[in-house]
Amino acid sequence: MSNTFCELFKPRDAFGAEQTLLFYTYLLGLTPFRLRGQAGGRQFQLSKLGYLNALLQLSFFSYCFLAALIEQQSIVGYFFKSEISQIGDSLQKFIGMTGMSILFLCSSIRVRLLIRIWDRISCVDDRFLNVGVCFNYPAIMRLRHLQILLINGVQLSYLISSNWMLLGNDVRPIYTAIVAFYVPQIFLLSIVMLFHATLHRLWQHFTVLNQVLKNLAHQWDTRTLKAVTQKQRSLQCLDSFSMYTIVTKDPAEIIQESMEIHHLICEAAATANKYFTYQLLTIISIAFLIIVFDAYYVLETLLGKSKRESKFKTVEFVTFFSCQMILYLIAIISIVEGSNRAIKKSEKTGGIVHSLLNKTKSAEVKEKLQQFSMQLMHLKINFTAAGLFNIDRTLYFTISGALTTYLIILLQFTSNSPNNGYGNGSSCCETFNNMTNHTL
């Protein structure tokens, strides 16, 4: 019992450090496998109960979605109703249902890829021991606990505050509408958290690998490179919360080991891209669509173009939709920044290797470094959304441009409608037809 309790807070391997996060996603039905065994001999085992849980989660959400759709109830509809808001609400429901189905489908069918990712990460950690690097797994686990608490705290605060706002204005939302609106946020942000945890370990690995090579270069610069017969602990901490180094090997052996570690890290990154690619496309698409309509609702109200009939004050209206928009912005930023950081860390390795290549005098070491240089040319990590676009900081510019374009179109529809798209005036479609006929 004491060993089990100790493992929950003081893990001794890569699997143990992630067990809380993986159990959390297991409860949500996103990772239908369990971690078995003791530290040093752990392995993942597919769980029939996990698959059943995923099926029940998806079935319950589908029921709530269809019930809210049949009863024509939605959280957005409680705040106001317009033709554009009805279009946006319908699209949000459709992509919510489609997105949830894709998330569960990918999580169930491609689950072996996720297991392979964590197996590779664990293997990399073990290989780092050969070059004198040990990771601080309790610190990694504490970081995961903090992320879970933060994400759930934000979601719970948004749920309570928005429902308090509804009840304060004598609006009693049905539970199916609440589930259909809020539950997708929980699952989307959980996938983002799982993706970010994977990237965190990858950029941690690249950071350590680069530091091992830098330490080698530093020894050459100070002309202290020699065979080390006793273990010497480095005075420099590679990461303030996770690792330290011990130099014990010959330079050629360190470079060979570094090459093999780099290859394993790139394999883990490629597998992560393969596993998360459709899920990331789904999340980014859903987030973009919701951000577009939320930004439109807020701008329309703040610019005074809205003639909405609503029980809610302007500040309540703007706060509700702004908070939802911020949640999905956080999801996009987490995905992009995590990917970008991993890529940037991997790109630094090439410069360090070539710096070592210029400094070495040993023919054996130079040959190893040339092999490493060739490997770096052919093994580069990248993350894409189903191959449609790269996930890096250029995505910010793409999203900003598309967001601006759609907002202008939506605001023009509102401006050209006699009743701003509300009430019994002409619809957006009629306005568009009138504009077209006038042009022709």
Contacts with 436 (C-beta within 8 Å, 6 or more apart), sequence order = none
Strand partners, 233: 246
According to the model, what pLDDT value does residue 423 have? 43
CA distance 289 to 429: 20
| Structural domain includes residue 422 | no
According to the model, what pLDDT value does residue 338 have? 93
According to the model, what pLDDT value does residue 221 have? 63
| Structural domain includes residue 299 | yes
Q: What single-letter DSSP state applies at residue 425?
A: S
Strand partners, 43: 36
| Structural domain includes residue 430 | no
According to the model, what pLDDT value does residue 424 have? 43
The domain containing residue 73 runs over which residues? 12-222+237-416
According to the model, what pLDDT value does residue 400 have? 93
Which of 383, 133, 407, 172 has the alpha carbon at shortest distance from 257? Answer: 133
Model pTM score:
0.85
According to the model, what pLDDT value does residue 426 have? 42
CA distance 182 to 188: 10
Which of 142, 146, 141, 148 has the alpha carbon at shortest distance from 190? Answer: 148
| Structural domain includes residue 421 | no
Which of 185, 193, 156, 178 has the alpha carbon at shortest distance from 325? Answer: 185
Exposure of 408 in the CB half-sphere (CA atoms within 13 A): 6
| Structural domain includes residue 253 | yes
According to the model, what pLDDT value does residue 428 have? 43
Please report where in the chains the tokens 């024509």 appear, as a residue.
72
Which of 330, 303, 289 has the alpha carbon at shortest distance from 158? Answer: 330
Contact 155, 186 (CB under 8 A): yes
| Structural domain includes residue 138 | yes
| Structural domain includes residue 244 | yes
Contacts with 135 (C-beta within 8 Å, 6 or more apart), sequence order = 14, 17, 125, 128, 204, 242, 243
CA distance 245 to 364: 24
- Note down pLDDT in tens along the chain; length 440 residues: 455 556 667 888 889 899 999 999 999 999 999 888 776 677 888 999 999 999 999 999 889 888 888 888 888 777 777 676 677 777 777 777 888 888 999 999 999 999 999 999 999 999 998 888 888 899 999 999 999 999 999 999 999 988 888 888 888 888 888 888 888 889 999 999 999 999 999 999 999 999 988 888 777 666 544 444 444 444 344 443 334 444 446 788 888 999 999 999 999 999 999 999 999 999 999 999 999 988 988 888 887 655 555 667 788 888 888 999 999 999 999 999 999 999 999 999 999 998 888 888 888 888 988 999 999 998 899 999 999 999 999 999 999 999 999 888 888 877 665 554 444 444 444 444 444 444 44
According to the model, what pLDDT value does residue 300 have? 83
| Structural domain includes residue 284 | yes
| Domain count within the chain | 1
β-bridge pairing 232-233 and 243-247: antiparallel
Which of 265, 274, 266, 331 has the alpha carbon at shortest distance from 109? Answer: 274
